[in-house]
């Protein structure tokens, strides 16, 4: 009798343990939106997709801290064209086109502070200001922002990132003088900021930010508005 009772207790305990294990494991890829819910560093990623009503292209988005960013580069073109790089790296824009303003070298182009300037972004989104990029990188961690924001593949020189936050930055480089520059090793994006109080007092320059295959941090620099960089939009 005692042996039968002991066997029964063991069997019930084993069944409960198996039930508990399966109920807690779940599907690690199931976040309700079809996206991997965890980044390379174990962060839970809050993301989804939206459609640009202008051309019906669909984009991934991801929430990082208090901000919501596009998780891929903008591919919108007013004439519908898409160059050879566009399917992978998105469309490339001069600062004027990215800002959707008329005068490339006029002083009326200066945009400063934390202005939400839609530019070429979809409705409800805008070109990030200098300050908004700093907010992003401060949340991620400035000294390792490059590594944490870069995609896990596609970078030269063993420069792939961990993509901890789902930003999935790719090395699109930029276009200048009819040729491509730093494609494969640099990810570059325009900001809406060109302010003479913080930038070179030169109407032909604006701020862009970048991450590199060879460094773990991020950079913020000024360059000619005539250069063509990809764009990442941030939600209003």
pLDDT tens per residue, range 152-190: 999 999 999 999 999 999 999 999 987 899 999 999 999
27 found inside a domain = no
Q: Residue 168: name the closest of 94, 79, 70, 95 by CA.
A: 70
Query: Which own/partner contact pairs does 151-154 have at CB distance under 8 Å and 24+ positions apart?
Result: 152/40
Four-CA torsion 7, 10, 16, 17, nearest 10 degrees: -140
pLDDT at 58: 96
pLDDT at 42: 57
Higher-confidence position of 19 and 89 = 89
Cα dist. 127→74, 98, 169, 202 in Å? 11, 8, 16, 21
pLDDT tops 50 at residue 3: no
User: What's the number of domains the chain is made of?
Assistant: 1
How is the beta sheet containing 57-64 ordered, strand by strand? 46-52, 57-64, 67-70, 234-235, 125-126
pLDDT at 83: 78
Query: Coil, helix or strand for 86?
Result: helix
9 found inside a domain = no
pLDDT tops 50 at residue 20: no
Higher-confidence position of 124 and 7 = 124
73 found inside a domain = yes
Structural domain range at position 90: 46-235
38 found inside a domain = no
Question: What distance lies between CA 177 and its chain's CA centroid?
Answer: 26
pLDDT tops 90 at residue 147: yes
Higher-confidence position of 19 and 104 = 104
68 found inside a domain = yes
pLDDT band of residue 48 (cuts 50, 70, 90) is very high
Dihedral sign for Cα 38, 40, 46, 49, please: negative
pLDDT tops 70 at residue 109: no
> Residue length, the chain?
236
165 found inside a domain = yes
State percent of the chain over pLDDT 90.
57
134 found inside a domain = yes
pLDDT tops 80 at residue 195: no
16 found inside a domain = no
pLDDT at 96: 87
pTM of the model as a whole: 0.78
pLDDT at 21: 34
């Amino acid at each position: 009798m005692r042996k039968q009772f002991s066997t029964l207790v063991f069997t019930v305990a084993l069944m409960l343990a198996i039930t508990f294990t399966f109920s807690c494991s779940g599907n690690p890829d199931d976040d309700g939106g079809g996206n991997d819910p965890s980044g390379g560093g174990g962060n839970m990623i809050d993301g989804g997709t939206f459609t640009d009503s202008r051309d019906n292209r669909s984009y991934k988005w991801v929430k990082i801290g208090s901000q919501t960013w596009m998780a891929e580069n903008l591919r919108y073109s007013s004439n519908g064209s898409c160059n050879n790089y566009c399917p992978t790296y998105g469309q490339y824009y001069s600062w004027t086109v990215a800002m959707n303003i008329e005068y490339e070298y006029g002083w009326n182009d200066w945009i400063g502070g934390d202005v939400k300037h839609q530019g070429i972004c979809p409705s409800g989104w805008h070109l990030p200001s200098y300050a908004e990029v700093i907010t992003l990188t401060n949340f991620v961690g400035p000294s390792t922002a490059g590594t944490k924001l870069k995609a896990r593949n596609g970078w030269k020189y063993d420069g792939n990132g961990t993509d901890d936050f789902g930003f999935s930055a790719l090395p699109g480089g930029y276009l200048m003088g009819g040729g491509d520059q730093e494609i494969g090793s640099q990810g570059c994006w325009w900001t809406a900021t060109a302010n003479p109080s913080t930038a070179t007092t030169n109407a032909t320059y604006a701020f862009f930010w970048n991450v590199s295959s060879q460094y773990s941090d991020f950079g913020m620099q000024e360059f000619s508005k005539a250069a063509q960089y990809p764009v990442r939009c941030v939600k209003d």
